[in-house]
Amino acid sequence: MMDPAVRRLIADKLTLPVEEGEDKRCTLQEAVRRHIREKMVINMTAGVGALVYELVRAFWDKRPEFTIITPSLNLHLVALVKQRLARKILTSFAGINYPSPRPCPVVQNAYAAGEVDIEQWTMRTIPQRLLAGAMGWDFMPTHSLIGSTMAQDNQADFKTMPNPFGGQGEIGMLRALTPDITLVHAAVADRSGNTIITYPLAGDAYGAWGSAKGVIVSVEKIVSTEYIRQHAHMVRIPAYSVLAVCEAPFGSHPIGITQLGLPGFDAYFSDYDFMTEVNETTKDEAAFMRWVEEWILDVPDHAAYLDKVGGDRLVYLKGKAAPDAWQAETLKEGAGVDFNAPPNPVERMVLAASRVIAERCVRSGYSTLLAGIGLSNLAAWLALYDLRAQGHAVEVMAEVGMFGYMPRTSDPAVFSLHNMHTCKMLSNIETVLGVNVGGAQNRCLGVLGAGQIDMAGNANSTKISDKLLLVGSGGSNDIANTNQEAIVVMNAGPKRLVEKVPYITYAGTRVRTLITDVGLFEKLDGAPTFTLTAYLPAHDQESEAQCMERIKANVGWPLATAPNLRRLALPGADDLKLLRLFDPRKYYIG
């Protein structure tokens, strides 16, 4: 029988405490005031809301000239281009993201006036640079950026060299990026800062790991250390990195947050109405400034912000995050859809593109699809269901860490929580873009969009001139540089299909097919430029001659035409119905 003294020793020394570590809890205001200084380099993970609002309030009239690192400059983050809050922003996307991607006038104006320097990177290269900093490396190898204008513009932080081990082609080298401080909004943390981030992880916690001074964390709920131990496999940030922990329910609003894999914690959907309202105000400088005053400067704290959003709306967003909520939404949205109307030219393009994508997957044996935002993803979604009906196994992915999802109807947004519920694997940007798209076993077909494209397949979604921004690469460069093949889906026009793009967001090396609302262009027999191989009528009554006139008016390069030109066929009526269910409000197909 064990000595009682030994029993007491075991109990005293080895019992796990319910709470453990330094108590770092404080308000958002206290965290910002204590730890953020002018001129800092601040990294912001996706979905940071409450902390950004507090940062803007605290420094609005102080011209702090931060350097900001963020995957996307949109929504409330646009306020950072005003009042010299930021002097430089490193990002992969600077524009309006909802309901469809397009340039943001407020960002364009600030950039054109020289009020802010926007440094263009990609969705993958930003976390790669942060990971290098976190690991203590001076640089990180990459296949992204090569062949793009970003490679030229960022020469101070990006170099190319011959493969040092004798492999084919060049390898890129990214300089490590080490921010002063990182702002994170996460699901839960304990009082000392052990933090759980729910999947998908997007850019992951690389910036948090490598921040020189530490991390400020806001969370939906502060939990016990005992809870953290029970879910230790989901902890991405250890307490020693954390400077402050702030409880801020709905702290990523208007962006949603997932609950996947974490019991006892409520998810909520992105607030599309709020996002639309913010984006509409950016069309006018005065309107946007009124929005900043109403929703940030005149709101004293996060509690007052939530009161202003309203309890009914917050409850609705929680309900909308349920796994089966898409079904009720589909019934509601579908009731207003005219399924019998003939397809318009944009719908015809998406339908034709879906068939081309499906045929290419079967012919080349592709097993994964990575589609961009908008028309390209709608075409890939239709192709997915067509391929499954044929018995051809293919998985659809999204850059933020989504793999094997089955797109749900009612919401055309790629990163919709409705789609996340159907994923077979949830990970991060580096896994999807680095392994699933560009890894050793990849059999990936990329389906991309663009603002402009030239006859060699070089695409531009970044800028027209030093004064006129578009939106940026997002993940398109990472995809086009590393997958097996890329297809581009976009509307035609003489200023869109140009002889030479002014800025190369991604090179056309792997772009072999272009599908537009006027026809199909392909690189035949390894040719470096496109040939028109099929025409696409705007309606069933349009003749080949009429269509050719429309093509000539909408193509800005010398047109090469295949001798056996064909008419693009469209899928059946069910595909059109499904397309309209994917986008019932006609954000993309209208």
Q: What percent of the chain has pLDDT over 90?
A: 91
Within 8 A by CB and 6+ apart from 442, the residues are: 368, 435, 436, 482, 483, 484
> Element (H or E) spanning 215, and its range?
strand 214-222
Q: Which residues pair with 566 in a beta bridge?
A: 534
Within 8 A by CB and 6+ apart from 293, the residues are: none
Q: Taking all residues of the chain, what is their mean pLDDT, rounded to a whole number? A: 96
Q: Cβ atoms within 10 A of the Cβ of 580, count? A: 20
Angle of helix 302-309 relative to helix 50-59, nearest 10 degrees, comes to 120
Strand pairing report for 402-403 and 395-398: antiparallel
DSSP 371-400: E-SSHHHHHHHHHHHHHHHHT---EEEETT
Average pLDDT of span 277-288: 96
Per the rule left: phi > 0, alpha: psi between -120 and 50, beta: everything else, 94 is: beta
pLDDT tens by residue, 419-430: 999 999 999 999
Residue 438 is predicted with a pLDDT of 94
pLDDT tens by residue, 225-280: 999 999 999 999 999 999 999 999 999 999 999 988 888 899 999 999 999 999 99
Residue 17 is predicted with a pLDDT of 85
| Overall CATH class of domain 15-137+176-321 | alpha beta
- Contact in structure between 117 and 136 (CB atoms under 8 Å): no
Question: Locate tokens 């020693």: which residue?
Answer: 240
Tokens of 500: 């030479």
Q: How confident is the model at residue 327 (pLDDT cuts 50, 70, 90)?
A: very high
Q: Is the pLDDT of residue 211 over 90?
A: yes
Identify the DSSP state of 462. S
Residue 290 is predicted with a pLDDT of 98
> Element (H or E) spanning 236, and its range?
strand 235-237
Q: What percent of the chain has pLDDT over 70?
A: 100
Residue 94 is predicted with a pLDDT of 97
Q: Report how far residue 198's alpha carbon sits from residue 184's, in angstroms, rounded to the nearest whole number.
A: 12
Q: Report how far residue 288's alpha carbon sits from residue 439's, in angstroms, rounded to the nearest whole number.
A: 43
Domain with CATH 3.40.1080.10 in the chain: 15-137+176-321, 345-582
Q: Order of strands, edge to edge, in the sheet holding 158-162? A: 139-142, 170-175, 158-162
Q: Report how far residue 68's alpha carbon sits from residue 80's, in angstroms, rounded to the nearest whole number.
A: 9
Q: Return the higher-pLDDT residue of 262 and 561.
A: 561
Q: Is the pLDDT of residue 8 over 90?
A: no
Q: Is the pLDDT of residue 18 over 90?
A: no
Average pLDDT of span 460-475: 94
Q: Which residues pair with 42 in a beta bridge?
A: 68, 181
Residue 558 is predicted with a pLDDT of 96
Q: Order of strands, edge to edge, in the sheet holding 519-522? A: 425-426, 402-403, 395-398, 368-371, 444-448, 485-489, 511-515, 519-522, 531-535, 561-567
pLDDT tens by residue, 293-316: 999 999 999 999 999 999 999 999
Average pLDDT of span 161-186: 94
Residue 13 is predicted with a pLDDT of 84
pLDDT tens by residue, 340-377: 999 999 999 999 999 999 999 999 999 999 998 899 99
Residue 6 is predicted with a pLDDT of 85
pLDDT tens by residue, 37-80: 999 999 999 999 999 999 999 999 999 999 999 999 999 999 99
In three-state secondary structure terms, 426 is strand
Distances (CA, A) of 202 to 4, 120, 243, 319, 381: 52, 18, 23, 24, 21
> Element (H or E) spanning 33, and its range?
helix 28-35
Residue 100 is predicted with a pLDDT of 84
Q: Determine the number of helices (DSSP H) and then strands (DSSP E) in the chain.
A: 20, 27
Residue 9 is predicted with a pLDDT of 85
Prior bond of 200 cis (ω within 30°): yes
Average pLDDT of span 312-336: 97
Q: How far from each other are the two terminal CA atoms of the chain, in whole angstroms?
A: 80
Residue 264 is predicted with a pLDDT of 86
Task: Confirm or reject CATH 1.10.287.1260 for domain 345-582, answering yes or no.
Answer: no
Nearest 5 degrees, angle CA 128-CA 129-CA 134? 95
For 417-560, strand residue ranges (E) read 425-426, 444-448, 452-454, 459-460, 463-465, 468-469, 485-489, 497-498, 511-515, 519-522, 531-535
What are the backbone angles phi and psi of residue 567, rounded to the nearest 5°? -95, 130
